[in-house]
Amino acid sequence: MALDVTLNSLGIAKPPAQTRVVVAMSGGVDSSVVAAMLKEEGYDVVGVTLQLYDHGAALAKKGACCAGRDIHDARRVAEAMGFPHYVLDYENTFREAVIEEFADAYLAGATPVPCIRCNERVKFKDLLATAKDLEADCMATGHYIQRKTGATGPELHSAADPNRDQSYFLFSTTAEQLAFLRFPLGHLHSKAETRALAQKYGLPVADKPDSQDICFVPNGNYASVIEKLRPGAADPGEIVDMAGNVLGRHRGVIHYTIGQRKGLGIGGLEEPLYVVRLDPLARRVVVGPKESLSTRIVPVREINWLGDAPLSARPEWHVMAKVRSTRAPREAVIRPVSDSAAEVELLAPEDGVSPGQACVFYEGGSSRVLGGGWIWRGTR
């Protein structure tokens, strides 16, 4: 007798009512719509929200995720739609896995991306483990990215809406995690569609603004956060040119980023100068002309590879590579050093490539994400 293996909308061979889905709820409109949509489809939905940093301080802060007000909003959505909701205290985990490294990376002259580490070390690791403890069949999030079934298993693809695509921030999602994760919004073509769904379900967060800042950095002021975490981090020092000539003084290396031009306080020169390197040990900010920012060779490590064959199976891979979240992918060649490290050659040089940023790989002519890694030093 043939078995009925009809798959539900999440690709699982069970009726929705028998399929438990843990939804990672940040309190924003995206994850709220995911939870409401799956509940309406008849799934056994369990909402989970992580409290990531001080509850009292977070209550008054707008425009972040995983703060006090957002926990309250997630709970309201769960109550309105009639499914259970849990809040997990992950303050210590978040501080150790994300905030401390963020501070150390800045002090080392890098430009970190803490949202990637949060997805990698907290949401898609600890929260995913909690979902399995709750005997869930899968975990769903409100991220704008697509999961598609390929010849060798689940594949990661960029979102249908390029303006909302979050693939740069999710490159470290492993194949094992991808088997358990679902992204129900990835196929939508605009945020307006998401908000329309929120209105349809009568959600109290339908008109809630999107979060903009890094959640633990009020008003985008990185330096103030670093100073609190690492007293003495804002010690002043010298601004020097590439030959080591002193051009002026700075107010602390943590106030500067690679590629910065404004706010250097060294006017009156014949050509504009840009920050090309940070030397935290010597407390120096190194500046140079715009062309000195151009980078063609980018060393990348901690690579998470999602291709069908191992990274080291070929001497080189021709891909599209993205070195900043705000930039379009460009043609590149990956030359593996091992299964987790490579030298990436950008066929057209890029300006302002910075250690601490991610380099994410895409298949040419396709929306498929092949993985990515961390830029750890630049060779110009």
Active site positions, annotated: 118, 215
Contact 44, 21 (CB under 8 A): yes
Contacts of 176 (CB under 8 A, 6+ apart): none
- In one-letter notation, the amino acid at residue 151 is A
Tokens of 274: 């840009």
* Sheet arrangement for strand 274-279: 246-250, 237-241, 284-288, 274-279
CA atoms of 10 and 139, how far apart (whole Å) = 10
Report angle CA 200, 201, 204 to the nearest 5 degrees: 110
Distance CA 237, CA 110 (A): 17
CA-based angle 171:175:180, to the nearest 5?
Answer: 105
Q: Which residues have C-beta within 8 Å of that of residue 380, sequence separation ≥ 6? A: 276, 292, 293, 294, 295, 296
Please state, in angstroms and rounded to a whole number, the distance separating the CA atoms of residues 65 and 82: 22
Short-list 260, 323, 267, CA closest to 286: 260
Pick from 148, 182, 190, 140: nearest CA to 165: 190
User: In 239-346, which residue ranges form alpha helices assigned H by DSSP?
Assistant: none
Element (H, E) at 236: none
Contact between 114 and 102 under an 8 Å Cβ cutoff? The reply is: yes
At 96, list the tokens. 């150790």
Q: Say how many CA atoms lie within 13 Å of 57 toward its Cβ.
A: 8
